[in-house]
Structure 1
């Protein structure tokens, strides 16, 4: 693994916008616009490295499924902050019927420096973004800048194949809706949903799209409807389950939830059991089940334990995203006040520094198989909304 600099292509911004990346720039707190898509540098991997990372990702995915099974079997939902009996029942039933429910994709965030073993930082298996830039613009960048080279990137083909394989699990009668929140001002959610909708169409599915805020509730029929009052039998939502089961329509979602077997009226993708994998408590459960595993970091739910006097630790809210609420506690720092919300305490493993840039690898899983890589850089130890995306190549 090596970082190399390179001159950006002329008119690179227009190029990546035409390839689906509608926000190549990020507005920073000082109101300046800086590249989000950053092709002034790139990362190089050997084929052996990538093959090893693929094995790591698929092993971690299997371990996460084992951890989810343990949470359900041992009734450890409270450790995840899931205390509503109806939500517990919905997640349990979704897990029991998981072979009947479509489940498309997820993204592991890994710490990796090219030398030691990759370490799991977290798993976003419910609403992962940064998909478009990983699947499309970086592939075309490689073809233009390094013709004949390769890339860890089979995302597009695997997504189309996943929709095609799982189409039989979709209920008949109506299109598969793709929903995003209109509150997303940057357009990242809309861009991601539009791309996934395109892959579903290439798999032969009838689709439509809608904002979450435009989904209606028909009181007479007791069903969710679109803007034209058509029943919505299946919805892919880029909208976290923890919001879906707590907002004003939570009761209707749970009353009409299709968990397979024709038991409801609306099928939501990703399925409800993905709540078990996108919760940071998963990290602590993994460490309990696989203590000392080379690709895990020590993690706990009841406090930092030995991490407070050892290598330092990071507190992560159970449901935080894009670094929100993450706090770094380095060795020797004054004792931190207890967090105001339930957290996971994970060993501090500083992101590797490449020329002053802190790097995290986003490894994608599609339909249970390793499918590609996206790389983000940040200035600090926490990868947040101001991170940059850099392409990679296998040479």
Structure 2
């Protein structure tokens, strides 16, 4: 694993915008001088490194599924700040095997030892367009003789083909709260892969979904019954909405992507449950729900935090915190291992799962200790 420099392509901004990364200017804090998509650098890997990461990612995914089953069997929903009334529907969703599509593991990896799980973005993962499309086209333009860990596009199409969706069009819903366009473009890309799989689709804003009390069903703007809904709207938000009870209890008559049981995997309490079930596992960091215990350095993470908000890093050298409104739901305390440094920058590896198989890699870099919305996405290649 090496960090290498290269000359950006002429007109790279227009190139990536034409390929779907229309939000690279808006989804990044405007005061930053470094662009969100930065192709002046990239990471190179050997095939052996990538094969090892693939295997570890799939093992982690299997462990997470086992952990979800354990939480349901033991009824540990309060550790996840899940309301009591939602718990029976999560269990029912799990027992039915409601289908899932994708997720992204965030990993610490330095090329010298096993990857370490930082968190699992299992419900509403982003950076999908960058991973699947933008860095692939970069590779073909700049390093056409090399390879890339990237079968995301093909696997998404295959996954949509095999899903047992309900009749009628699949609806893809963004929220008008997204001012950057990232959510709309990500859902647009997911919608495109579903169409390439032969599915009929409809785009809709979450705010335009209606509820029909007579039929007890959700409807779109043309009063069509919504039978399949793919969203980037977190389940913890949906549960708290006025129509949350209807959404939760529509699990039988609708297919939700991602399903309700993913609430257990997208919650950072999962980290502590994994450590209880697999203590000392080489791909895990010690994590606890009741405090840092004897950890000499730890990071306190809100159970439902996003984009690095509400984090608190405690080391013998001091304390570093990020702002944010998360944390009222509770925290998990995970051993802190600083991200590895490459030329003063620290990468987080985003390893994608589609279905139950490892599918690709996206990398974001930060100059600090915590990856947040100021971090840049950089491409990678496998040197052949």
TM-score range, shorter chain: over 0.9
Q: 1:67 to 1:36 in 2, by over 3 A?
A: same
Structure 2 unmatched runs, 5+ = 322-326
Structure 1 unmatched runs, 5+ = 259-263
Alpha-carbon separation, structure 2, partners of 1:340 and 1:229: 38
Q: What is residue 96 of structure 1 aligned with on the other side?
A: 95
1:327 maps onto 2:306 in alignment? no
Q: What are the equivalent positions in structure 2 for 1:46-125 lying under 5 Å apart?
A: 46-85=46-85, 87-98=86-97, 101-125=98-122
Q: How many residues align?
A: 378
Q: Shift of the alpha carbon at 1:30?
A: 6.3
Q: TM-score, normalised by structure 1?
A: 0.93
Alpha-carbon separation, structure 1, partners of 2:319 and 2:309: 22
Deviations 1:127-183 (A, max 9, x none): 0000000000100100111112100000000000000011xx1111x2000011111
Q: Shift of the alpha carbon at 1:25?
A: 2.7
* Pick aligned residue for 1:305 from 283, 290, 293: 293
Q: Shift of the alpha carbon at 1:34?
A: 4.1
Alpha-carbon separation, structure 1, partners of 2:279 and 2:99: 31
Q: Shift of the alpha carbon at 1:257?
A: 2.5
Alpha-carbon separation, structure 1, partners of 2:328 and 2:90: 26
Alpha-carbon separation, structure 1, partners of 2:157 and 2:299: 37
Q: What is residue 149 of structure 1 aligned with on the other side?
A: 146
Superposition RMSD on alpha carbons, in Å? Answer: 1.6
Q: Shift of the alpha carbon at 1:330?
A: 1.2
1:138 maps onto 2:135 in alignment? yes
- Asked if the contact 1:26/1:34 (under 8 Å) is kept, the reply is no
1:223 maps onto 2:222 in alignment? no
Q: 1:254 to 1:33 in 2, by over 3 A?
A: same
* Pick aligned residue for 1:170 from 161, 165, 168: 165
1:10 maps onto 2:10 in alignment? yes
Q: What is residue 261 of structure 1 aligned with on the other side?
A: none
- Asked if the contact 1:28/1:34 (under 8 Å) is kept, the reply is no
Q: What is residue 385 of structure 1 aligned with on the other side?
A: 373
Q: What is residue 279 of structure 1 aligned with on the other side?
A: 267
Deviations 1:240-272 (A, max 9, x none): 0111111011122133322xxxxx3x3211100
- Asked if the contact 2:170/2:199 (under 8 Å) is kept, the reply is yes
Q: TM-score, normalised by structure 2?
A: 0.95
Q: Shift of the alpha carbon at 1:219?
A: 2.3
Alpha-carbon separation, structure 1, partners of 2:160 and 2:92: 23
Q: Shift of the alpha carbon at 1:295?
A: 0.6
Alpha-carbon separation, structure 2, partners of 1:31 and 1:59: 40
Q: 1:335 to 1:243 in 2, by over 3 A?
A: closer
Q: Shift of the alpha carbon at 1:125?
A: 0.7
